[in-house]
């Protein structure tokens, strides 16, 4: 994909990643969230969960249900989710506002318990996942890959620690969204905004 083909003018006439024109709700997500570095545990955990729910579905479906997911899963407070019982599973399976998939719901609960263990051993979820962010020199220009060595390594370590629904492709989508990489297309008006945020946090 060339830089030109990866861009499309936004409502203000400035170039943006072409994908954000695919649905009306994507523009705000692209301009204010996607690729912006996140260092807080709860939104990081939320994104792992939502990427898992997206498996086999479109991101638009998940994005449109995101507030329902947040309400159903107590704001993705993984300490609270780790205490969920079968009663909670039944409640979630009866909730029409979310994706009612028993395996994915069970995965969220399992991963919440894994996240608790990670905080106990690593200090925070953020401290752990950001270890797998590529260096500034390795990040380079935006890419159109689905898997990278870093996402493969992170997925492997998460699985070793008991996490589920965390394959390399899912993990790379997580890394893109949470700003571990800056994959806004070259020329996208948001790319330099994200890069400045990276420079504030990383040498």
pLDDT truncated to tens, each residue of the chain (203 aa)?
334 478 999 999 999 999 999 999 999 999 999 999 999 999 999 999 999 999 999 999 999 999 999 999 999 999 999 999 999 999 999 999 999 999 999 999 999 999 999 999 999 999 999 999 997 644 455 555 689 999 999 999 999 999 999 999 999 999 999 999 999 999 999 999 999 998 876 54
| Tokens found for residue 188 | 């996208």
Question: Can you name the residues that pair with 15 across neighbouring β-strands?
Answer: 9
What's the Rg (C-alpha) of the chain?
17
| Tokens found for residue 155 | 């997925």
| Phi, psi angle pair for 9, to nearest 5° | -65, 135
Catalytic residues: 29, 51, 59
Instruction: List the domains of the chain with CATH numbers.
Output: 7-201 (1.10.340.30)
CB atoms within 10 A of CB 100: 12
């Amino acid at each position: 994909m060339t830089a030109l083909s990866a861009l499309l003018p936004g409502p203000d006439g400035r170039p943006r990643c072409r994908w954000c024109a695919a649905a009306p709700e994507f523009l705000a997500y692209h301009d204010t969230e996607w690729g912006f570095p996140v260092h807080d545990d709860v939104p990081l955990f939320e994104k792992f969960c939502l990427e898992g729910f997206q498996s086999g579905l479109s991101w638009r479906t998940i994005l449109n249900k995101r507030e329902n997911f947040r309400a159903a899963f107590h704001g993705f407070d993984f300490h609270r989710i780790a205490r969920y019982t079968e009663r909670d599973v039944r409640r979630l399976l009866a909730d029409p506002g979310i994706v009612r998939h028993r395996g994915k719901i069970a995965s969220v609960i399992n991963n919440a318990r894994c996240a608790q263990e990670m905080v106990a051993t690593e200090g925070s979820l953020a401290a752990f996942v950001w270890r797998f962010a590529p260096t500034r020199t390795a990040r380079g220009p935006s890419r159109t890959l689905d898997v990278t060595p870093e996402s493969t390594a992170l997925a492997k370590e998460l699985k070793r620690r008991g996490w589920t629904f965390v394959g390399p492709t899912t993990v790379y989508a997580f890394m893109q969204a949470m700003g571990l990489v800056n994959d806004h297309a070259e020329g996208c008006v948001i790319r330099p905004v994200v890069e400045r945020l990276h420079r504030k946090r990383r040498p």
